[in-house]
Chain A
Amino acid sequence: MMKKTLAAAILATTALSGAAMAEGTLEAVKGRDLLQCGVTNGVPGFSVPDEQGNWQGLDVDVCKAVAAAVLGDAGKVKYIPLTAKERFTALQSGEIDVLSRVTTWTQTRDTQLGLNFTGVTYYDGQGFLVKKDLGLQSVKELDGATVCVQSGTTTELNLADYFRANGLNFTPVVFDTNEQAASSFDSGRCDAFTTDLSQAYGLRTRMSDPDAVVALPEVISKEPLGPVVRQGDDQWFNIVKWSLFAMLNAEELGVTSANVDEMKSSENPNIKRLLGIDGPKGKGLDIADDWAYQIVKQVGNYGEAFERNVGMGSALKIDRGINALWNQGGFQYAPPMR
Chain B
Amino acid sequence: MKYEIQPTLPPPANTVGAIGWMRKHLFHGPLSSAATVIIAVLAVYLLTPVLQWAFIDADWIGDSREACSSGGACWVFIGNRLEQFLYGFYPSEQTWRLNLAFVLLIALIAWMLIPRLPGKGWAGAITLVIYPIIAYYLLIGDAFGLEYVETHRWGGFSLTLVLAFVGIVAALPFGILLALGRRSAMPIVRSLSVTYIEIWRGVPLITVLFMASVMLPLFFPEDINFDKLLRALIGIIMFQTAYMAEVVRGGLQAIPKGQYEAADALGLSYWKKMILIILPQALKLMIPGIVNTFIALFKDTSLVVIIGLFDLLAIVQAASNDPDWIGFATEGYIFVALMFWIFCFGMSRYSQHLEKLLHTGHGNRA
Contact = CB atoms under 8 A, between A and B. Distances in A.
Contact of B222 (A45, A78, A93, A316): A93
Interface string A180-212: 000000000000000000000010011000000
A94 interface: yes
Nearest to A79: B152
A277 interface: no
Contacts of B223: 20, 22, 94
Contacts of A13: 218-219
Given A53-B84, A86-B307, A20 B221 contact: yes
Given A17-B221, A202-B326, A44 B307 contact: no
Nearest to A13: B218
A43 B214 contact: no
Contact of B218 (A10, A206, A316): A10
Contacts of A20: 221-223
A51 B318 CA distance: 11
A21 B310 CA distance: 30
Nearest to B223: A94
A95 interface: yes
A278 B152 CA distance: 41
B305 to A, nearest CB: 8
A254 interface: no
A10 B88 CA distance: 32
Contacts of A82: 308
Interface string B83-120: 01000110010000000000000000000000000000
Given A83-B306, A94-B223, A48 B218 contact: no
A225 to B, nearest CB: 16
Contacts of B228: 95
Interface in B209-225: 210, 213-215, 217-223, 225
Given A81-B308, A81-B310, A90-B217, A314 B323 contact: yes
Most chain B CB atoms below 10 A, which of A22, A51, A82, A179: A51
Interface in A80-131: 80-83, 85-86, 89-90, 92-95
A205 B326 contact: yes
A51 B81 contact: yes
Given A205-B326, A206-B326, A86 B214 contact: yes
Contacts of A22: 223
Interface string B317-334: 111111110110100000
A78 B324 CA distance: 23
B285 interface: no
A205 B323 contact: yes
A190 to B, nearest CB: 19
Contacts of B222: 17, 20-21, 93-94
Contact of A41 (B308, B322, B329): B308
Contacts of B89: 49, 53
A314 to B, nearest CB: 5
Nearest to B328: A206
A75 interface: no
Given A81-B308, A81-B310, A83-B308, A51 B317 contact: no
Contacts of B215: 89
Nearest to A53: B89
Interface in A27-81: 41-45, 48-53, 78-81
Interface in B116-152: 150, 152
Nearest to B210: A85
A78 B321 contact: no
A41 B326 contact: no
Contacts of B195: none
A52 B80 CA distance: 10
A81 B150 CA distance: 14
B252 interface: no
B327 to A, nearest CB: 4
A315 interface: yes
A80 B152 contact: yes
Contacts of B324: 50, 315
A21 to B, nearest CB: 5
Contact of A49 (B213, B218, B221, B322): B322
Nearest to B84: A53
A87 to B, nearest CB: 9
B318 A49 contact: yes
B214 A17 contact: no
Contacts of B219: 13
A316 B321 CA distance: 11
B84 A86 contact: no
A83 B318 contact: no
Contacts of B319: 42, 49
Contacts of B220: 93
A86 B213 contact: yes
Given A13-B219, A93-B217, A93-B222, A51 B308 contact: no
Interface of A: 10, 13, 17, 20-22, 41-45, 48-53, 78-83, 85-86, 89-90, 92-95, 179, 202, 205-206, 314-316
5 contacts: A20-B223, A41-B308, A51-B322, A81-B310, A179-B329
Given A42-B322, A45-B323, A53-B92, 15 more contacts: A21-B222, A41-B314, A42-B317, A43-B321, A44-B321, A48-B322, A48-B323, A50-B322, A51-B322, A83-B308, A89-B218, A95-B228, A202-B323, A314-B323, A315-B323
